[in-house]
C-alpha cells in the first residue's frame, strides 16, 4: 500500500480478502488459539524462530489487520493493538523502564495519563517529571541519567495545545532517549509524528480512529528507527532474555526489537489484548477516518468562531482559530487544522456551566471524545471535581470551563443546539 494517499490507506491498508474464504471484509477471528502444523512448527513458534499464530493473547488475524492499517497510516514499521489506550501506554513504558527509572512528560496531558504516569507508575518505582513542554528547554532540563522516555501529546486533551514535536524529539535524542507521542486527538490524518522525529506513537483508538464510540482500544506504533542497544539503557531489549533461551531482542529482531518486546514479553506476561470484535469495529470505523476528520475539523472551527462572538462566552481555546497562540504550531504540524475537541470559558462561572450541559439536546453530556455525535462536558463538576480550586485552574478545568468534542452532524443543528443551551445558561 505504500505510495498511496491517506484517504486510500484508511480504506485499504492492512486488509486484504480473507485468504481462507475470499471474504472481502476481514472476518472476526473469534478464536482463542490456533492448531500447530506439527511439533517442530510449535517449537519454532514458541522460540520466535518463525512468526505465526499461537494464542490470541499474543496475536489474532483481525487485530493484525488493524495493526497493519494503523502502522501504514502513521508511517511506522509495525504496531500492536491493546485493550485500551492506557494499556498501550503501560506496555510501551513497561518495555523501556526498569525500577528507579524516570519519564519526562508534558504537563498538559489527558487527565487519565497524568494519573497513570504520576500515581500508578510509582508502584513500579517508575518516577516522572511533568514539565511545561511549550518550551522544549524545560524538557531538556528535566532529563536525568535515569530518564528512559519523553512523553507528549501532539494535540493535547483537552486544552487545544499543540506541541513542537520536532524540537522536543531533538532534545530527547540529544540525551539518547526516545520520544513517545500520544496522537489520539490529532490522528494520522492531521499529524504523523514519526515524520517529525517521534520514535513511538500511541493511540486511544476508542476516540477518532474508531470514531463511533462503540468500543475501547489502543495501539502502539513503532517507528523502527531508535537504537535500543548501544546505550545499554534498555536491557529488556538488549540483554539476553531468560524466558526465550537467552535471546537478545535487538540482535534477533533488529529494528523491530521494541514492538516485538511489547508483544512477546509485555503482552505475553501482562495480557491486555484487544478483543477481536473491537478490532473489527475499529477497522470498520477507520475506513471513513479522513472523511470524518475533515467534517469534524470544519464543524469545530465554525462552532469556535460562532462561540467567540457570543456575548455569554468569555474565551475560546482552539488551535484552528487563526488568532490562537497555538495556530502557528497547528500550521506546522496539523495542516492548520485544530482537531475537533476544544474548551471555552463561560462568563457565568460554575452555575452557567452546569446549566449549559443540562440544557443541551443534540449534544450528549458524557466523558468521551471522538464520536460522530457532538459531546459536551463541564470538567469542574465531573472529571476534575476531586481537584482543589487551584488544581482545577492548573489543569485548564476551572469552574467556567466547558469542553466540547464536535461531531459530524450538520453545523446549523450543532450551532442551534448550542444557542438554545446558552440562552438557558
Ligand atoms: C482517552 C485517552 C487516553 C486513554 O485511552 P483509553 O482508551 O480510554 O484507555 C489516552 N490519551 C488520550 C489523549 C485520550 O484522549
H/E stretch holding 69: helix 61-74
Query: Shortest CA distance to 363 belongs to which of 317, 412, 414, 303?
Result: 414
Q: What span, in angstroms and rounded, lies between the C-alpha atoms of 384 and 405?
A: 17
Residue 383 or 280, more confident: 280
pLDDT tens per residue, range 168-217: 999 999 999 999 999 999 999 999 999 999 999 999 999 999 999 999 99
Question: Residue 252 C-alpha to ligand 1 middle, in angstroms?
Answer: 32
Q: What are phi and psi of 106, to 5 degrees?
A: -65, 150
Query: pLDDT at position 160, please?
Result: 83
Say if ligand 1 is within 6 A of residue 370 CB.
no
Query: pLDDT at position 404, please?
Result: 97
Say if ligand 1 is within 6 A of residue 62 CB.
no
Query: pLDDT at position 154, please?
Result: 98
Say if ligand 1 is within 6 A of residue 215 CB.
no
Which CATH topology does 6-284 take? Answer: 3.40.640
Say if ligand 1 is within 6 A of residue 377 CB.
no
pLDDT tens per residue, range 103-142: 999 998 988 999 999 999 999 999 999 999 999 999 999 9
Q: What span, in angstroms and rounded, lies between the C-alpha atoms of 396 and 345?
A: 10
Say if ligand 1 is within 6 A of residue 84 CB.
yes
Number of residues written out for the chain: 425
Protein residue whose Cα sits closest to atom 2 of ligand 1: 204
Q: What span, in angstroms and rounded, lies between the C-alpha atoms of 342 and 413?
A: 18
Q: What span, in angstroms and rounded, lies between the C-alpha atoms of 80 and 68?
A: 9
Query: pLDDT at position 2, please?
Result: 67
Domain residue spans of the chain: 6-284, 290-424
Q: List residues bridging with 130 in a β-sheet.
A: 105
Which CATH topology does 290-424 take? Answer: 3.90.1150
Of 152, 204, 279, 405, the residue with max ligand 1 atoms within 8 A of its CB, to mutate for a pocket test, comes to 204
pLDDT (average), residues 76-80: 98
Query: pLDDT at position 387, please?
Result: 79
Residue 81 above 90 pLDDT?
yes
Protein residue whose Cα sits closest to atom 8 of ligand 1: 85
Q: What span, in angstroms and rounded, lies between the C-alpha atoms of 292 and 307?
A: 22
Residue with cell 486544552: 159
Amino acid at each position: 500500500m505504500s505510495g498511496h494517499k491517506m484517504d486510500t490507506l484508511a480504506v485499504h491498508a492492512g486488509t486484504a480478502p480473507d485468504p481462507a474464504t475470499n471474504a472481502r471484509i476481514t472476518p472476526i477471528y473469534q478464536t482463542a488459539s490456533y492448531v500447530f502444523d506439527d511439533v517442530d512448527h510449535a517449537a519454532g513458534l514458541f522460540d520466535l524462530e518463525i512468526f505465526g499464530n499461537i494464542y490470541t493473547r499474543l496475536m489474532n488475524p483481525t487485530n493484525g489487520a488493524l495493526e497493519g492499517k494503523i502502522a501504514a497510516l502513521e508511517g511506522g514499521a509495525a504496531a500492536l493493538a491493546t485493550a485500551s489506550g492506557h494499556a498501550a501506554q503501560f506496555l510501551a513504558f513497561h518495555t523501556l523502564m526498569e525500577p528507579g527509572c524516570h519519564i519526562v512528560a508534558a504537563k498538559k496531558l489527558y487527565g487519565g495519563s497524568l494519573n497513570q504516569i504520576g500515581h500508578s507508575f510509582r508502584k513500579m518505582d517508575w518516577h516522572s517529571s511533568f514539565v511545561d513542554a511549550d518550551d522544549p528547554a524545560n524538557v531538556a532540563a528535566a532529563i536525568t541519567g535515569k530518564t528512559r522516555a519523553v512523553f507528549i501529546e501532539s494535540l493535547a486533551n483537552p486544552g487545544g495545545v499543540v506541541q513542537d514535536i520536532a524540537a522536543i524529539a531533538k532534545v530527547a535524542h540529544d540525551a539518547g532517549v526516545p520520544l513517545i507521542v500520544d496522537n489520539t486527538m490529532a490522528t494520522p490524518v492531521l499529524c504523523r509524528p514519526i515524520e517529525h522525529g517521534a520514535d513511538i506513537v500511541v493511540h486511544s483508538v476508542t476516540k477518532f480512529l474508531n470514531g463511533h464510540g462503540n468500543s475501547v482500544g489502543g495501539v502502539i506504533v513503532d517507528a523502527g528507527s531508535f537504537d535500543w542497544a548501544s546505550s545499554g539503557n534498555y536491557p529488556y531489549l538488549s540483554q539476553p532474555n531468560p524466558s526465550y533461551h537467552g535471546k537478545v531482542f535487538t540482535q534477533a529482531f533488529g529494528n523491530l526489537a521494541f514492538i516485538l518486546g511489547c508483544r512477546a514479553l509485555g503482552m505475553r506476561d501482562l495480557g491486555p489484548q484487544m478483543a477481536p470484535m473491537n478490532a473489527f469495529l475499529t477497522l470498520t470505523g477507520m475506513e471513513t477516518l479522513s472523511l470524518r476528520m475533515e467534517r469534524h475539523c470544519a464543524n469545530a472551527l465554525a462552532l469556535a468562531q460562532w462561540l467567540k462572538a457570543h456575548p455569554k462566552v468569555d474565551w475560546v481555546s482552539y488551535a484552528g482559530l487563526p488568532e490562537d497562540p497555538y495556530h502557528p504550531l497547528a500550521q506546522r504540524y496539523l495542516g492548520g487544522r485544530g482537531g475537533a475537541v476544544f474548551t471555552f470559558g463561560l462568563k457565568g462561572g460554575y452555575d452557567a456551566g452546569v446549566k449549559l450541559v443540562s440544557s443541551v439536546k443534540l449534544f450528549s453530556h458524557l466523558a468521551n471524545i471522538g464520536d460522530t455525535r457532538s459531546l459536551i462536558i463541564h470538567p469542574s463538576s465531573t472529571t476534575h471535581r476531586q481537584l482543589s480550586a487551584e488544581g482545577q485552574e492548573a489543569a485548564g478545568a476551572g469552574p467556567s470551563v466547558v469542553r466540547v468534542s464536535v461531531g459530524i452532524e450538520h453545523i446549523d443543528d450543532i450551532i442551534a443546539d448550542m444557542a438554545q443551551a446558552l440562552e438557558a445558561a
